[in-house]
A = this chain, B = another copy of it.
Amino acid sequence: VSSPTPERLATWRLFFESAWALLDVLDRELAAECSMPLRWYDVLVHLEEAPGERLRMGELGNQILSSKSGLTRVIDRMEEAGFVRRERAGGDRRVIEVVPTEAGVAALTAARPIHRRGIQEYFASHLDDRDVAAVSRALQKVHDEVRAAR
């Protein structure tokens, strides 16, 4: 386990700065045009994709990389905005499941084209087909390792 080569350090820095700037720009865009932080969008997408369109607090926290307590506040605010509901699961009464409301689904539907436009403008439009394949291949390994490390 040594230090990265200079080329790899330069690549890291490009990745780091691009990522920081992209998250910043896309979050502002979504906040300005949809009154929705990127985190809420992320929550709604994960709920949409979950079997039964519902996830336990703990599972949702793992997926969106939020601390347990952080997620509690996020869901508090989303519930207050009318985008999700908390439901007690059937068997185990310690478990809370988060479910999107109709308003939440509608908000995601409205936000999606805005967000995708931003992804296209700031990210996707600058990658040709070779770039897409290469970046995917490279980041797949990084993604798996870093998510496992938590």
**A-side interface residues toward B, CB under 8 Å?**
1-5, 7-12, 14-25, 65, 113, 116-117, 119-127, 130-132, 134-143, 145-147, 149-150
Contacts and interface: CB of A to CB of B under 8 A. Distances in A.
A137 B131 contact: yes
Nearest to A131: B138
B127 A134 contact: no
Contact of A117 (B3, B5, B116): B3
What is the oligomeric copy number? 2
A14 B143 contact: yes
14 contacts: A4-B116, A7-B136, A8-B123, A8-B127, A11-B124, A11-B132, A14-B143, A18-B146, A21-B65, A21-B146, A22-B146, A123-B142, A127-B141, A134-B138
A3 to B, nearest CB: 5
Contacts of A10: 136
Q: Which of A9, A14, A117, A139 has the most CB of B within 10 A?
A: A139
Contact of A123 (B12, B25, B119): B12
A98 B126 CA distance: 35
A19 B22 CA distance: 10
A123 B136 CA distance: 14
A138 B126 contact: yes
B132 A131 contact: no
B134 A4 contact: no
